[in-house]
Each structure stands twice: as structure tokens, then as C-alpha cells.
Structure 1
């Protein structure tokens, strides 16, 4: 505020913009606004939204929705002064409590907004789309387009994910077996991931010599854990070239060539098998809504009678099954998340018998917050590796995702199913405790 005359503060950009926004939305905003001219408006103590230039307004004029706000944040034209999570939590809380909705502008609203933007010098050509936005072509969920969508997210670079994730390289929700108050040097994110990997192996009944098909293996956290700890023979499948390269390197470094085969392949190209177990951890979200029945049929076809399948999935309601415009444009193009009940029905429709469902929603915010802490603590390294814009994409993604799970707008579940024999046998013990019993291998 130094050097700005009181009159400029009272009549500055922030004092024109905040009332205009509140009039359009029909409610008071729990935000404080600071504009490029130094003017500030809004309640004391509220999260501060910073408009660094008129270009932030121009982006919102051309794209007056979630994507426009995200683009303004990603490029640094708009920022939050302070904790981004607190700012988003406040905005989403207000949207729920005050019924804030995207504006339905009347002609008078539009005329007033245009006049205000003209006075502020914000009218101009559409700003360029940020370079980090996905650009895909071809038919939805064709093999070529799916390969490009997966590459956009997972082939960012192995160095990036090695910096962000813990030593397990598990890029999915952990399974925290200790309270948050116990988190520290003796128990942290890597331990929660190992507890998750062990839980999956026990649910699948893995033992020395059993066979596992890991569809969407990522950087091989489950594949390597099953092969090393449970002495299981694993076929690991991924569409991401960088992931396949990393897993192959780890297989060689750990001397697991006789137990692990890595395939760079679309799941639709997997030949029929007779595996004891099939796992797919947060991969089905990339399959697509229309294609999911074919995917569950593949899961059934890959199993021997009595074999088990474990699906770990993120879920979201029908309003934004892809996660919203920002995630679909910058993180996971063509993603589709379905409600838990829909997935259970599709698995059953494929001939699989669902035996157990475990909700893990509260585990994901802790997992994501661990990744976010790493991002902030090593911000300069991330910026040097992928650039400031991509680092800001990931900051927004991680903060927003953690809040979505925290507030119940998204969930994550493990679904355990079995392929019954022709006579109906599931080849499973009668009680869950026996299902999850460790059968072999050494730590």
C-alpha cells in the first residue's frame, strides 16, 4: 500500500471489481481482493485473492468458469496470498452455504460488466492457452488417444515423480495404519504405501509361485512388492513408456528378471490368461465410461476360476465424473470416475462375485498432503525440472484434490472380487480374517 493515495485506494480496481462480482453472484464473497494497482477491498482477515495484472480479468472474460480461474492461477496472473488450501476451503464452503453458482448473466449484467472492464483497461484479445494444457486428437478412448492421454500425465518425467513421491514410487492412496499424531520419522508416507501394498497382496491371497497380472502398474510399486516380498510371478502392464522403462530398470537392479515381465501395452491387447490374481490400482479411471464393461470383461477373462481381482478406484458423482474442467485439461485428460455402486454392478455384470469393499477416503488427504509438502519444500527443484507453470499446475491439483477427498466430494475404495468356478465355488475362506491372512514370502 506504500505510495498509493487514499483516493486511489477507494476508487481502485479492487473496489470496482468486488462489488461487481458480488452483484453478479448475488451474495457477499468471503474474500479480500488486491488488484494490480495496489487497491484492496473486502473483509479483513479473509483469504486474499491477488490480481497481478489486467490479463487475469481478460482470461476470466474469455473463460468465465473454473477453467478460466485455473488458467489465471497457473500463469501467475492470479494468486492467493497465504495458504492456497485455506483459500479454496473458504470459497467452496461459501459456495455450499451461500448457494453460490456460476452466474446467469442478464443483458444488463453483461453491459455493466463490459463497461467496468473497459474502464479498467481489461478488454483485449484472448490470452494464449497455457502451454501445460493437454492437446489431444482422435476418437475418444481410441488406443492412440488413450496412449497420448496417459503420456501427458505419466510421462512428465521419471525424475519429477521420483522427486514428488516417496521411495516406493506408489502414485495412489496410501493406507495409514497409525494416527496422524504418530506420523514422523518412524512412520510416514512410504510406510503407509507399503501397508497398502501389503494389504492388496494379502487380499489377493498371494504366495510364492502364484501369478499376478498388474494392469496399470505405474512405477511398479505393487509389482515389485509382490515379487520381492511374496515371491509372486508378476506380469506388469502400462501404457506409459517412461513407467515401463523405470520398472524394467528396477527389475534388473533387484534381480527379479525371473519373476517379473513388463509389457508396454494397452489392456485391450493383453492375451487371455489364467492368472491367480489381477490388480488394477487407480487405473480404471482412464478407461472411459462406455469402455468399462469391456474392461471388467477383461478382468474376468484374465483370471482362472477361483482367482481374485482387486480394484482400487477413485469415485465421484455424476456432476463431474472426470474431475472437473481443470483436471481434465491439465492433469488427466479423458478421465472418467464412476460411483462405487456402478463399478460393483459392472464387475458383477462381467461374472465376477464381489466379496468385500473397503472405503479409504480418509487415507487420501494424508497421502496427498505428504506429496504437497514435498512440492513446497523443494519448490525450486521442481521449477528447475519442469518449469514454474507446471509446478503451479501441480500445486493447484494437489491442494484441490486433498480438499475434495477431505470434504467427501471424492472417494477411494478397494473392491475385492472373485471369479467363481462353473459350480459356483469362489475358492475363498469363509471369513475376511482368513482372506487377508499372509500365506508366504518373507519381508
Structure 2
């Protein structure tokens, strides 16, 4: 028998009434429940609650994390454009039609009664296997290694499938000549811009902290003849970079070190780079990190930090990203990071926002994920693939809507006499980047 989609006693209508009471406004998306009933706007995406377990997760874990758990397990899904659905929710929040739940005793009692009627009351569902489980003190070396491994040691095969041939897992630089398909060109333009900002020349010593899969390390060694010490905490990354160094015959120019940045020794580097690694350092630990950047570079040497940021009142990562993608990460407004770098003795000379560039970069990764969905699910399983779909779609929207940003910060360690050695103007940095 086909369920009556108009009845007010269907699961969808009961859920909608509960949600609207809690949010203080109408549903911005359509809702379909496990019994086939629907309610809400007729146009746009449909949020599908496939089982009562999704509701039970929200009872035990209200908010973003409970919703994410239900989505990655497939208990909750979106029929239609996921980005459109998330965009509508954020638009509703901005227009103040919706507000965070602040349930009182009466609201809680009504919610509990609805949950009982819907058959959703029960024991706490198990945490999805893809959710990080870290132990130990925040930002101890052992916990940081586990946090990095959770994300970056997923497998080199996974990242080869997701990324372009540069294996750069950071924001690219999309010049006017780049089309939507030119993700590799955008990454090469970014790598060349970093090398130019750092003033790399043949024989220059570069310390690449958080080198990833070696995109900057290899570019600097091949195209600028720099001598690079590449540091990563992820074992899978270190193995990949070493393999690339052997294949390209760069053993005399590149050293790969698999260790914590706090264990780096030596100094007097001509340049130091940190590309989207500073988010993993931690809030309390960042002053010591900034001091280590100053300590490692010689007087007159340059430091380039490319790092994600957040707006003053924006949450930055959020519960989902911190539980599934980058545990223990911390983002701050750009100005606070600049202050921390200057407090360490560095002189910040230029900052450049790449926020809109990250929208294009993440969109390219998300297209690859969708186009090769079967390959991804065969490699890592559907739950992990769904984690990445939610991460990439949500990340692109966060950059689009300025809840998150990403910036290149170029600093120098001045000499005792205050000499920076910086060029009078930066114009030449950008000449013919599309041809790099």
C-alpha cells in the first residue's frame, strides 16, 4: 500500500514539526522519511531519513556531528544536489529564519514523546568506523602522529586517485588561462609562486615543513635547483616522496625526514616553507611553532606560510571536520597568525588571500570523486567515500561563503641591522605563471 504523503501523522510531518519547533522557522529543504511520507518545499534537494537510527543518533548526539554520523553511514541521505541543500541551510541561518536549538524542559519532553511515537528511542548507535579515535594529551607528539596518520595515511593510492599528477593537496592558483579542467596547471602555478616569493636560486637551502607528497619539494629541486630538506609526520607521504626522489634522480638535492616538526635540528636555511600544515599545530603550540620558523631560517632568509583561516565569528573547521578529517586542527583569523609570526621575530612583508582559488581547487577534487565514485568505493569503502563527499562539498561552500579562508603569508628574518633583502615590488613574482 502506498503511504499517504499528505497525512499529518506520517513520520516526515512529525519530524518536520519537531525540527521547525527547534529551529524556529520553516524547513529550507524537503524532507522524506523512511515510511515514504514527505513534507517541505517542493523544489530543490530532498533530505531522506532512511531509518529511525538516524533520528536516534541525533537524540544521542544533537547537532552537526550527529547529522554527519547519520550521513556517512547512509542512514540519512540527500536526493539531489548536496551542495544546494547545504547552501539553503546556511542561507536560512544567515537570514535569521533559523537559530540554534535551545530546548527547554517542555521542548525536550515533546521531542522525547515524538521519538517514542516514531520508534526511534533506543541505545546509542555505534560510532562510525571512519570517525577518529585519538588518545593522550592534546598535541603531544604521539597524539599528533595519530591525528596526521588518520587523514594522510589513508593510502597513497587514494590520494593518487583524487589529486592531479602534482600530488599537491593544498590550494592551487587559478590564473585566467586555467579552465575548470586545469587543476594540475593551477597547482604548478602555486608551486612556482611559492618558489619565487621565497627567492629560491640554485643551491639555496629550503626547509619544507609538512611537505605532503612532495609537490613543493620536487618543484623547488627540479626547477630551481634548490637543496631541500622535506619533513613530514606521515609515513605514507615520506615513502612516496622518497620514491619520487629516486625516480627523478634528485638524491643529491633532497633529503626526506619522517619526523615531528619539533624534532627538526639545524638552521641557517635560506628559506622555510609550511604549506597548510600550521592548522595542525594547535592554538597553544603556535607561538613555539612560529619561534621555530624564525630559528631555522638565516638572517635575511624568507619564510612562507600558506594556511587556512577563519572569520572572526566563524567556527572554522567544526565538529565534522575535527572528528573525521583533521582531528585537533585549529584555525584563527589571519591577523592573529600575522601577529604570532611577528611576535616570534619575523617581519611579515606580504599576505595574499587565495580564498576564491580554494573554491575552484576543492571543486576539482569533488568532481574527480563523483566521476570515479565506483573506484573510490572499491578502494576505501562507501562510508569513507561518503565522508569525503561531505568534506569536499562542505569545504567548498565554507570558502565560497567566507566562513573559511586561506592565505599566503610571506615573512623575512631581518638582519641585526634590519635589512630584509626583499625586492622593492613583487610584480615579477606573477609574470607568466600560467607557463610554469
Short-chain TM bin: over 0.9
Counterpart check, 1:201 vs 2:190 = no
**CA separation of 1:435 and 1:120: change in aligned 2, threshold 3 A:** closer
Q: Paired residue for 2:38?
A: 40
Q: Paired residue for 2:72?
A: 74
Counterpart check, 1:399 vs 2:397 = no
Q: Distance in 2 between matches of 1:437 and 1:366?
A: 22
* 1:354 corresponds to which of 348, 352, 359: 348
**CA separation of 1:85 and 1:436: change in aligned 2, threshold 3 A:** closer
Please say if residues 11 and 35 of structure 2, whose CA atoms lie closer than 8 Å, have aligned partners that are also in contact.
yes
Q: Paired residue for 2:137?
A: 139
5+ long unaligned stretches in structure 1: none
Of the structure 1 ranges 153-162 and 322-331, higher mean CA displacement relative to structure 2 is found in 322-331
For the residue of structure 1 that corresponds to 2:323, the secondary structure is: helix
Counterparts in 2 of 1:152-163, with a 5 A limit?
152-163=150-161
CA apart distance, 1:318 = 5.3
How many residue pairs match? The answer is 434
Q: Distance in 1 between matches of 2:264 and 2:67?
A: 41
For the residue of structure 2 that corresponds to 1:431, the secondary structure is: coil
Please say if residues 200 and 224 of structure 2, whose CA atoms lie closer than 8 Å, have aligned partners that are also in contact.
yes
Counterparts in 2 of 1:29-428, with a 5 A limit?
29-178=27-176, 182-184=179-181, 188-317=182-311, 323-428=317-422
Please say if residues 9 and 38 of structure 1, whose CA atoms lie closer than 8 Å, have aligned partners that are also in contact.
no
Q: Distance in 1 between matches of 2:239 and 2:209?
A: 16
Query: Normalization by structure 1: what TM-score?
Result: 0.95
**CA separation of 1:388 and 1:5: change in aligned 2, threshold 3 A:** closer
CA apart distance, 1:20 = 2.0
Q: Distance in 1 between matches of 2:369 and 2:346?
A: 40
CA apart distance, 1:173 = 0.3
CA apart distance, 1:5 = 4.4
Q: Distance in 2 between matches of 1:106 and 1:263?
A: 54
Of the structure 1 ranges 16-25 and 168-177, higher mean CA displacement relative to structure 2 is found in 16-25
Please say if residues 287 and 335 of structure 1, whose CA atoms lie closer than 8 Å, have aligned partners that are also in contact.
yes
**CA separation of 1:147 and 1:325: change in aligned 2, threshold 3 A:** same
Please say if residues 4 and 37 of structure 2, whose CA atoms lie closer than 8 Å, have aligned partners that are also in contact.
no
CA apart distance, 1:30 = 1.3
Please say if residues 314 and 404 of structure 2, whose CA atoms lie closer than 8 Å, have aligned partners that are also in contact.
no
Q: Distance in 2 between matches of 1:120 and 1:22?
A: 17
CA apart distance, 1:8 = 7.5
Q: Paired residue for 1:15?
A: 13
CA apart distance, 1:10 = 4.4
Spell out, residue by residue over 1:216-246, the C-alpha distance to the aligned partner (whole angstroms, 9 max, x if none): 0000000000000111110000000000000
The CA RMSD measured in Å over matched residues stands at 1.7
**CA separation of 1:429 and 1:35: change in aligned 2, threshold 3 A:** same
Please say if residues 207 and 273 of structure 2, whose CA atoms lie closer than 8 Å, have aligned partners that are also in contact.
yes
Please say if residues 321 and 338 of structure 1, whose CA atoms lie closer than 8 Å, have aligned partners that are also in contact.
no
Q: Which runs of 4+ in 1 moved over 4 A?
A: 7-10, 318-322, 434-438
Q: Distance in 1 between matches of 2:431 and 2:293?
A: 23
Q: Distance in 2 between matches of 1:115 and 1:435?
A: 64
Please say if residues 180 and 360 of structure 2, whose CA atoms lie closer than 8 Å, have aligned partners that are also in contact.
no
Q: Distance in 2 between matches of 1:45 and 1:97?
A: 19
Q: Distance in 2 between matches of 1:172 and 1:277?
A: 19
Q: Distance in 2 between matches of 1:81 and 1:103?
A: 25
CA apart distance, 1:435 = 6.3
Q: Distance in 2 between matches of 1:10 and 1:58?
A: 21
Q: Distance in 2 between matches of 1:293 and 1:315?
A: 16
Please say if residues 274 and 302 of structure 1, whose CA atoms lie closer than 8 Å, have aligned partners that are also in contact.
yes
For the residue of structure 2 that corresponds to 1:98, the secondary structure is: coil
5+ long unaligned stretches in structure 2: none
Q: Distance in 1 between matches of 2:368 and 2:404?
A: 23
